[in-house]
Amino acid sequence: MRIAYLDCFSGISGDMFLGALVDSGVSFEMLQKSVAELDVGAQLERSHVTRAGISAVKVDVIVRGEKDMPREEFWAEQNFHLHGHKHSGTQSHEYRHGRSLNDILEILAAAPISDRAKQTAGQIFTALGRAEAKVHNVPLEEIHFHEVGAEDAIVDVVCAAVGADALGVERFISSPLNVGGGTVTCAHGVMPIPAPTTLELLKGVPVYSGEIQKELVTPTGAAIVKVLVVSFESRPPMRTETIGYGAGTREFPQHPNVLRLTVGEAIESHITDEVPSAAELEEISILEANLDDLNPQLIGYISELAFSSGALDVFTTPVQMKKNRPGTLLTVLAPTSQEEALRSLIFRESSTLGIRVRREKRYVLPRRHEAVATPWGEVRMKIAGVNGTASHFAPEYEDCRRIAAEHNVPLKTVMQEAVRRYLDQKNG
């Protein structure tokens, strides 16, 4: 199993994660292209720096010509302006001109990135929004991200999702997080570090405070960890393939302010402990709504938003409704944790007056990815099975579609060739 391990001895932020991804081999040009296609007035810059003697990649987000500032200063000015309600009878300029969570989810739904990356990015932003709503005791729909902060965060989150997908690992594992310490002065006065939103996101995550009394884990970094990382532990047995270092903005004497990302193959004994050979049992939420008076184009749009908000699957079924009206049954499968957000989305975006919700159990086969080389590029094969036997395999659609478009080759040809190469490799 191909895994990635995050060494968070100096915390994590969005730009540190991007730097570590690039230093681990993720294409910087691909991330730049993703940012340009977002069309939010931002771009990426890359540089090589040294932090306490360690060479690392520094990725900066440039928004309308301005480089992002040190993270604790940025969040001191911006993070506590994320919500959209009034304070002391006034509402600041930042509140009125922010982007709502729904605005950002719409940007993600329209972004020309893979469905998997859209889903990851949507989950990260939803996690951020939920944490802010909890900290400030306001409804999720009232959360507004400050104009500049939103664009910086959109770039961080989208590139994190795209880069994590491109890394081609099956699971992220992390060390306990060094959150830093001390205090920071913001619009609401002196706040402790970690920031309230950061600490809310890190519920259940092992954290500690070292000698550095600065903010080391930002809300964006915490949200990335919350969504991507499946377990927090000491370094697992693994055969290291690549090592990447992502630099933070600040320099600390005798403390390398970097995030280390190690990618490699987990040793089988560890896989056996972590991943059951039989199908895993999990509980999911199923949301259903009958639609008979909605433009069909909007149903496709709702499906895209649902995937961006964490849906596991979305599908439609033609149905015959009362008075013989043709209609559509919209069905959304979701983690139980995303049920409320998806219910709100369906009410907001569709014409339905009622949503049926039920909890069901499902069995999921353990799955992994294995790369195969085709004449046009590498394709990941999704492989699943029971008791170590690969009983199901299929090429990743997004990989095949990208290759087909880039090389003007029929999509079915790419998919057939990927399967043939996989079988040759397997039976080799």
Residues 225, 341, single domain; the answer is no
Question: Does residue 72 register a pLDDT over 60?
Answer: no
Which of 342, 364, 386 terminates a domain? The answer is 364
Residues 196, 258, single domain; the answer is yes
Which of 364, 384, 401 terminates a domain? The answer is 364
Range of lowest pLDDT (135-149, 348-362, 371-385, 393-407): 135-149
Mean pLDDT of 352-362: 91
Residues 287, 385, single domain; the answer is no
Look-up: residue for tokens 């040190």?
70
Chain-centre distance of CA 292, in angstroms?
A: 34
* Confidence band, pLDDT 50/70/90 cuts, at residue 8: very high
Dihedral over Cα of 210, 213, 214, 220: its sign: positive
Residues 247, 154, single domain; the answer is yes
**Cα–Cα distance for residue pair 138/116, rounded to 1 Å:** 30
CATH number at residue 333: 3.30.70.1380
Residues 25, 47, single domain; the answer is yes
Which of 229, 252, 274 terminates a domain? The answer is 274
The pLDDT score that the predictor gives to residue 140 is 81
The pLDDT score that the predictor gives to residue 91 is 36
pLDDT of 222-275, one tens digit each? 999 999 998 898 888 899 999 999 999 999 988 999 999 999 998 854 444 444
The pLDDT score that the predictor gives to residue 69 is 52
The pLDDT score that the predictor gives to residue 221 is 94
Residues 85, 218, single domain; the answer is yes
- Count: domains in the chain: 3
Residues 113, 101, single domain; the answer is yes
- CA torsion, ordered 359, 360, 361, 366, to nearest 10 deg: -90
**Cα–Cα distance for residue pair 291/308, rounded to 1 Å:** 21
**Cα–Cα distance for residue pair 398/118, rounded to 1 Å:** 12
Residues 196, 269, single domain; the answer is yes
Token pair recorded at residue 428: 């080799």
Range of lowest pLDDT (69-78, 86-95, 374-383): 86-95
Token pair recorded at residue 230: 């499946």
Q: How far is CA 397 from CA 32, 114, 403, 416, 419, in A?
A: 23, 10, 10, 12, 12
Bigger pLDDT: 145 vs 337: 337
Residues 135, 238, single domain; the answer is yes
CATH number at residue 375: 3.10.20.300
Residues 303, 348, single domain; the answer is yes
Strands, E, within 14-89: which ranges?
42-51, 54-63, 66-67
The pLDDT score that the predictor gives to residue 385 is 66
Residues 221, 233, single domain; the answer is yes
Bigger pLDDT: 357 vs 101: 357
Bigger pLDDT: 194 vs 85: 194
Residues 62, 151, single domain; the answer is yes
Range of the domain at 289: 280-364
